[in-house]
Chain A
């Protein structure tokens, strides 16, 4: 029984990381209706920046802050320099560009930082309250996700910029007429998304070790979580990420074993897409012909 509770606790922690990346995916999906296949690699690259800063002797929180700044600027620039000039092209072209970004960032990281597994520190103590139920890093991860969600909610709900971002995602044409700089909001969304992804990267690196391919498995679970919750709904994506994290841990421990974890993600993704493509909390997309 105790080990079951342990598994659920660490499932929630892992789910928190999926939720972070899921939130990042949703931020982009809401405004552009594109799924960013390079989200994981962007987060991985940001985490490597943090690793460099830590090696240079910066304290953890300073390094993390600079990393988040880097993530934001990188996301902003990718939208400005790569996706904006692409213009209004077929969906297939956009996905091809994302795949190009995915392998491009991955090989760049391999080129610059090498393929060695690097241990990455956690900012949290090993033990939480002297309990063995949940490790300090797991509890810390959950805390970070809660904070991220609260801040994001407050930002979107109570600030003028947040309102403008929601408006331009909802109805770009009317927003532009109302004087909202829609294209700036789009870049801002990309920056925020990359920032949230970088938080996920910082949280996952102590668990899986830092290397250029560390995000492959994580991203696929983040996809599964975001789809399960509904990829156009931030809170759905968080809920989906948490559910998927717990399911992954329980199934990995008791049912299929760790060797089939990615297959489980595949089954989850195909299952959700077949049974309820809009996810649990998502809206059905109606297309006008």
Chain B
């Protein structure tokens, strides 16, 4: 019995089949096509749409971070909005008070968030399932209050938050701010997705998945459960934190009330709708949580979260493996290959 609604054959460690070579070439074609489309975006759309695409990529990085923890490791965090806020504030404070260039804040933010993730993840190791969800839920609720606190106000700007400058394209390139930012974010996102893919197929990733499936058996096979879980928490925090930094740069503004409980819930919606334990699902999920509010806002202020709630619940009933899982099972059915019986 898996600890998650993920079937083992859909993990990135899928066994190589004889068809793998032709599948790889198809995958290559798809990847090249996708890259071409991604590169064409800033030259084909209006600035506002480019900004939306940038935010989607940023959200995808955050959702991927959360998915590493929830989908691959089976630890549920309802507090990744707090990590997103941490990354955003590290960048904002360094730019505002430290005179850092925007790009120089990213490594600092990555290190800080990784450290915080490890620190929070270490005690959280003892918390299983709903207890971890509870602790992180409290963290998410407390975040805006903490950011507003008087003691931090000289740094964080209190309720008002901080306003930043949007970066201009360097070397006199003829790109608008939005076009330049999109390309930067696209590059960073590509690197981080490839890194995640490699990481999750490697030693740490396999250990992570083994712990999700059966922690005791994993420990018996010599996996250092505490180390792996804390590392996963740290890396997950790093991804979400860097996304927060990029988000702060892209919107050129941070304020406590934009990091409430709902940010964490939105990331969770992205993970669930995109597909637990899938990497490409992060993109689908991010697009979903970016575009639904844009469409549904006209209906009512409450409509987006009502739709998200519906999708969270429906997903658990109808497609527990999310959109990517649905596509995969549909493709498998089309190919008439019998569903492999995993050692579930």
Interface assignment of B305: CB less than 8 Å from any CB of chain A? yes
Contact A91–B129 (Cβ < 8 Å): yes
Contact B309–A104 (Cβ < 8 Å): yes
Interface assignment of B138: CB less than 8 Å from any CB of chain A? yes
Interface assignment of A181: CB less than 8 Å from any CB of chain B? no
Interface assignment of A274: CB less than 8 Å from any CB of chain B? yes
Contact B316–A96 (Cβ < 8 Å): yes
Q: A residues within 8 A CB of B123?
A: 270, 273-274
CB distance from A151 to the nearest CB of B (A): 28
Interface assignment of B261: CB less than 8 Å from any CB of chain A? yes
Interface assignment of B2: CB less than 8 Å from any CB of chain A? yes
Check A95/B145 contact, CB under 8 A, given A104-B313, A270-B135: no
Of A89, A259, A269, which contacts B134 at CB under 8 A?
Answer: A269
Of B4, B262, B265, B304, which contacts A90 at CB under 8 A?
Answer: B4
Check A92/B306 contact, CB under 8 A, given A223-B134, A263-B145, A277-B127: no
Interchain Cβ contacts under 8 Å between A and B, 6 examples: A92-B5, A103-B308, A103-B309, A107-B303, A261-B145, A266-B135
Contact B312–A97 (Cβ < 8 Å): yes
Interface assignment of B142: CB less than 8 Å from any CB of chain A? yes
Chain A residue at smallest Cβ distance from B132? A273
A-B contact count (CB 8 A): 139
Interface assignment of B310: CB less than 8 Å from any CB of chain A? yes
Contact A35–B316 (Cβ < 8 Å): no
Alpha-carbon distance A270/B129, docked complex (angstroms): 14
Interface assignment of A93: CB less than 8 Å from any CB of chain B? yes
Interface assignment of B248: CB less than 8 Å from any CB of chain A? no
Interface assignment of A101: CB less than 8 Å from any CB of chain B? yes
Alpha-carbon distance A263/B149, docked complex (angstroms): 11
Of B4, B139, B320, which contacts A266 at CB under 8 A?
Answer: B139
Interface assignment of B3: CB less than 8 Å from any CB of chain A? yes
**What mask results when residues 118 to 145 of chain B are scored 1 for a CB within 8 Å of chain A, else 0?**
0000010011011101110111011001
CB distance from A116 to the nearest CB of B (A): 12
Alpha-carbon distance A141/B261, docked complex (angstroms): 29
In residues 96-139 of chain A, which contact B (Cβ within 8 Å)? 96-97, 99-104, 106-108, 110-111, 115
Interface assignment of A86: CB less than 8 Å from any CB of chain B? yes
Contact A262–B145 (Cβ < 8 Å): yes
Interface assignment of B101: CB less than 8 Å from any CB of chain A? no
Interface assignment of A220: CB less than 8 Å from any CB of chain B? yes
The size class of the interface chain B forms with chain A is 35 or more
Interface majority SS (helix, strand, loop, mixed), chain B: helix
Interchain residue pairs A-B with the least CB separation, the first 3: A104-B309, A100-B312, A107-B302
Contact A82–B149 (Cβ < 8 Å): no
Interface assignment of B78: CB less than 8 Å from any CB of chain A? yes
Check A269/B138 contact, CB under 8 A, given A92-B74, A95-B76, A110-B301: yes
Check A86/B135 contact, CB under 8 A, given A111-B302, A277-B127: no
Q: B residues within 8 A CB of A89?
A: 5, 316, 320
Q: A residues within 8 A CB of B272?
A: 96
Q: Name the residue among A103, A115, A277 with the largest chain B CB count within 10 angstroms.
A: A103
Interface assignment of B216: CB less than 8 Å from any CB of chain A? yes
Interface assignment of A143: CB less than 8 Å from any CB of chain B? no
CB distance from B24 to the nearest CB of A (A): 32
Interface assignment of A85: CB less than 8 Å from any CB of chain B? yes
Contact A259–B148 (Cβ < 8 Å): yes
Alpha-carbon distance A99/B127, docked complex (angstroms): 19
Q: B residues within 8 A CB of A108?
A: 302, 306
Check A37/B137 contact, CB under 8 A, given A111-B306, A262-B142, A273-B127: yes
Of B2, B76, B139, B141, which contacts A217 at CB under 8 A?
Answer: B141
Q: Name the residue among B146, B265, B309 with the largest chain A CB count within 10 angstroms.
A: B309
Check A95/B133 contact, CB under 8 A, given A101-B309, A104-B310, A263-B145: yes
Check A220/B305 contact, CB under 8 A, given A90-B2, A273-B131: no
Of B138, B148, B265, B308, which contacts A265 at CB under 8 A?
Answer: B138
In residues 220-254 of chain A, which contact B (Cβ within 8 Å)? 220, 223-224, 227
Q: A residues within 8 A CB of B137?
A: 37, 220, 223
Chain B residue at smallest Cβ distance from A37? B137
Chain A residue at smallest Cβ distance from B3? A90
Q: B residues within 8 A CB of A85?
A: 317
Contact A93–B135 (Cβ < 8 Å): no
Interface assignment of A59: CB less than 8 Å from any CB of chain B? no
Chain A residue at smallest Cβ distance from B312? A100
CB distance from A265 to the nearest CB of B (A): 6
CB distance from B293 to the nearest CB of A (A): 12
Contact B142–A265 (Cβ < 8 Å): yes
